[in-house]
Amino acid sequence: MIRFNETTGVFKLDTKTTTYALRVYQEGYLVHLYYGAKLPDDDLSHLMYRGWFDSLSPWAHGVDDPLFSADIVPMEYPTNGAGDFRISALSVRGRDGNTVTDVRYVGHRIFKGKPGLTGLPATFGNEDECETLEIETEDPVTGVRAFLLYTVFEDSGVMARSVRIENRGEAAVELERAYSACLELPTMDYDMVHLYGKWAKENTTTRHPLAHGIQAIQSKRGMTGPNHNPFVALAQKHATEETGEVYGVSLIYSGNFSMEIEVDTRGCPRLLTGINPTDFRWRLEPGESFTTPEAVTVYSENGLGGMSRTLHRFYLNHLMRSVWAKRKRPLLINSWEAAYFDFDGDKLVEFARAAKELGIEMLVMDDGWFGNRFDDHRALGDWKVNEKKLGGTLKQLVDRVNALGVQFGIWYEPEMINPDSDLFRAHPDWAVCAPGRERSMSRYQCVLDMTRKEVRDAIYEQMVSVLSTANIAYIKWDCNRHITEAASLALPPERQGEFFHRYVLGVYDLMDRITTAFPEILLENCSSGGGRFDPGMLYYSPQIWASDNTDAIERLSIQFGASLAYPIAALGAHVSANPRTGIETRGNVALCGTFGYELDPGKLTAEEKEIVKAQVAEYHKYYELIRYGDFYRLTAPTEDPFVCDWEFVSEDQDEVLYTRVIMRRPENLYQPVRLRGLDPEKYYEDEETGQVYSGALLMHAGLDLSTAGGRWLQDGASLKKHFIAR
């Protein structure tokens, strides 16, 4: 619910669990008041003050208030150069060359539902699910108007924010900073929690106290990248998985991003999220507009776990638009780790035949099916089926696989090009490179200039010509390098600062066209593993490959970290041939994700085949519980050197699946564990033993896992328990 009090100038935005408030103050200043647990009070205007300002803080012109200075009070959408010396959300260079920016309130409207964002992925909801506030602000000197959008999803307890900037002046202006949202807090008694990593070690959780000064996570790689994820949480110092206040901020964007936090001299944090201003400059001619990516904010009184579960449900219901977001997905096996480039049609059919005997439902043909592609040195961009390699047409191969009762998927890397390719030889200017610069090579490939429509059209037409000839049920969309020497030959010098954002818009355009043309195809994103694991991708693909590292022990921290912001249904996870742990544990870890296989089924032993059949049965048995139940991180692999525990609880609290993995043999063989999220009044039967426990006992006294026997306590072993309410 959104209300505006004309007397106090206070906007109050309520969900079922939270309140967000801001105020229109004298001279049209927009001041932030509060974000946190739901409040019944209507007048929150007294919360705007941060104490008496000092002599170095400028007075606000026309404001008759000795306590007010833009340098001190919490500003709703802070601007550059007009009295607020902290980090700014908006900086516009006007016709005179200076970047002084000062937008003030001129009006607003409140309406049911939520508008989409042109060219950008965004959350969605109908008029019964959400309400939107649009605040119009203006800088009278430059003629720039900033429209601040807030959508409240009342039942979800979530708010989505973005900004539309219009040039209504008479001269062109340049945006140098255009953030999506600002969040002001009254105390620095918080830890910053975020995800860092690298290839094969993505989404590692780190937590550290806020400190005076500026802290930031950013990407300027052209993509979000594995180094930092576009998500941050601010958790009270004493907050745990299930207790304490936590603010979560997630940016729906797949390009260069920045999340900056400045703690001022009064100990008050300001958090900005949006496009990274490094290498960003957007020219707005009179009449043109610019829309920022959308930011999603969550407040939880139930710790990091409460924040995560809110985001999981919200993204499943209001971001993942694919028909496969809620439709049961096929259980697949991917050819990559089984064959790499060394395959032909007969080998793939044999993979499919062996996989079908195990209950696997789809075969994915990975890299190597097109052009002159026998290694990673050549042929990217030449998306024509190599019929000699496959032993016939793609349709013939797919029909052979389908005849076995197995669906067929295919790998693409649409954004990339090898210099050794027909496409490059025909259009060398389509590869990104600044004029006069040597190209930096990575994996023997370059990046296609997705800012150019003719490039996107050419790739789209090639993809359609392949996808429309056979019964393709799945696409793995890969992206195996980042952007260097960034420039577009199609952009004039004054617009080169738009390249990175236009590149992302181009990728979104191509993904949108493919998913619109083939809405029944299941799209999975990948970027050398989890290098582009972000909410923008979730809008187009309901699952994302979490990491090229398929070692079960390493996957624990990767998947736990990703679960801070992303639903388990989105985490691409497979059982591979990695020998570090037994296939049982590899299956248990992959089950905490989309689940699938990445191995040669013909090389499995008879015993392993029986285990795989049992895992396939569990995939179907627990499908709804894992994808749509509540996820609890019981023991994090980054905090305990020995064990990792997690749990799924159905929404009605009638079903529970608990898993423990032994990373390293514990020193203490007494292994108790307390479950979470159960109904204390219900009784739960252990499916394996028949023992019945109250929910209260399982949560407060716990289970003694040492009675399960000692063999499972060995390194790399694992254990699952399934409970049903009786």
Q: What are the DSSP calls for 238-270, one per residue?
A: T--SSSB-EEEEEEE-SSSEEEEEEE-TTS-EE
Q: Residues 371, 476: one domain? A: yes
Domain membership of residue 558 (yes or no) is: no
Q: Chain-wide mean pLDDT for the chain?
A: 97
Q: Residues 175, 240: one domain? A: yes
Confirm whether 551 is a catalytic residue: no
Q: How far apart are the first and last CA of the chain?
A: 39
Domain membership of residue 145 (yes or no) is: yes
Q: How many CA atoms lie within 13 A of 235 on its CB side?
A: 24
Q: Residues 447, 345: one domain? A: yes
Confirm whether 534 is a catalytic residue: no
Query: Confidence class of residue 448 from pLDDT cuts 50, 70 and 90?
Result: very high
Q: Residues 653, 505: one domain? A: no
Domain membership of residue 384 (yes or no) is: yes
pLDDT of the residue at 670: 86
Residue type, 9: G
The per-residue pLDDT for range 625-675, each reduced to its tens digit, is 999 999 999 999 999 999 999 999 999 999 999 999 999 988 888 889 999
The CATH number for 658's domain is 2.60.40.1180
Give mean pLDDT, residues 157-182. 98
Residue 89 has pLDDT above 70, yes or no: yes
| DSSP-based three-state secondary structure for 569 | helix
Strands annotated E in 114-219: 130-139, 144-153, 158-167, 173-184, 190-198, 201-209, 213-218
What residues pair up with 132 in beta bridges, in sequence order?
111, 151
Q: Which of 57, 157, 151 is nearest to 112 (CA)?
A: 151
Question: What is the largest distance, in Å, between two alpha-carbon atoms of the chain?
Answer: 83
Domain membership of residue 564 (yes or no) is: no
Give mean pLDDT, residues 419-443. 97
Q: What is the DSSP letter of 369?
A: S
Q: What DSSP string runs through 507-542?
A: HHHHHHHHHHHSTTSEEEE-BTTBTT-SHHHHHH-S
Domain membership of residue 23 (yes or no) is: yes
Q: Residues 239, 346: one domain? A: no
| DSSP-based three-state secondary structure for 214 | strand
Q: pTM for this structure? A: 0.98
Give mean pLDDT, residues 143-166. 98
Residue 710 has pLDDT above 80, yes or no: no
Q: Residues 41, 162: one domain? A: yes
Q: Residues 178, 146: one domain? A: yes
| DSSP-based three-state secondary structure for 450 | coil
Query: Confidence class of residue 709 from pLDDT cuts 50, 70 and 90?
Result: low
> Given 525, 541, 557, which residue is the final one in a domain?
541
Which domain range does residue 656 map to? 631-725
Query: Confidence class of residue 723 from pLDDT cuts 50, 70 and 90?
Result: very high
> Given 272, 288, 318, which residue is the final one in a domain?
318
Among all chains, which residue has been given the structure tokens 């969550």?
298
pLDDT of the residue at 642: 94
Q: Residues 125, 193: one domain? A: yes
Residue 194's contacts (CB-CB under 8 Å, 6 or more residues apart) are 205, 206, 217, 228, 229, 231, 232, 233, 259
The CATH number for 507's domain is 3.20.20.70
Q: Residues 241, 365: one domain? A: no
Q: Which of 710, 654, 652 is nearest to 685 (CA)?
A: 654
Q: Residues 294, 350: one domain? A: no
Q: Residues 309, 341: one domain? A: no
- Please give the share of the chain, as a percent, with pLDDT higher than 70: 99
The CATH number for 153's domain is 2.70.98.60
Q: Residues 307, 338: one domain? A: no
Helix (H) or strand (E) holding 615: helix 606-621
Query: Confidence class of residue 694 from pLDDT cuts 50, 70 and 90?
Result: very high
Domain membership of residue 608 (yes or no) is: no
Choice among 382, 548, 551, 645 that is catalytic? 548
Bridging pattern class, strands 630-635 and 643-649: antiparallel
Choice among 84, 449, 478, 600 that is catalytic? 478
Domain membership of residue 616 (yes or no) is: no
**b vs e for 44-77, b when ≥16 Cβ sit within 10 Å of the residue's Cβ?**
bbebbbbeebeeebeebeeeeeeebbbbbbbbbb
Helix (H) or strand (E) holding 355: helix 345-358
pLDDT of the residue at 671: 87
Contact 93, 99 (CB under 8 A): yes
Determine the number of helices (DSSP H) and then strands (DSSP E) in the chain. Answer: 14, 39
Domain membership of residue 98 (yes or no) is: yes
The per-residue pLDDT for range 277-334, each reduced to its tens digit, is 999 999 999 999 999 999 999 999 999 999 999 999 999 999 999 999 999 999 999 9
Q: How many domains does the chain divide into?
A: 3
> Given 508, 541, 574, which residue is the final one in a domain?
541
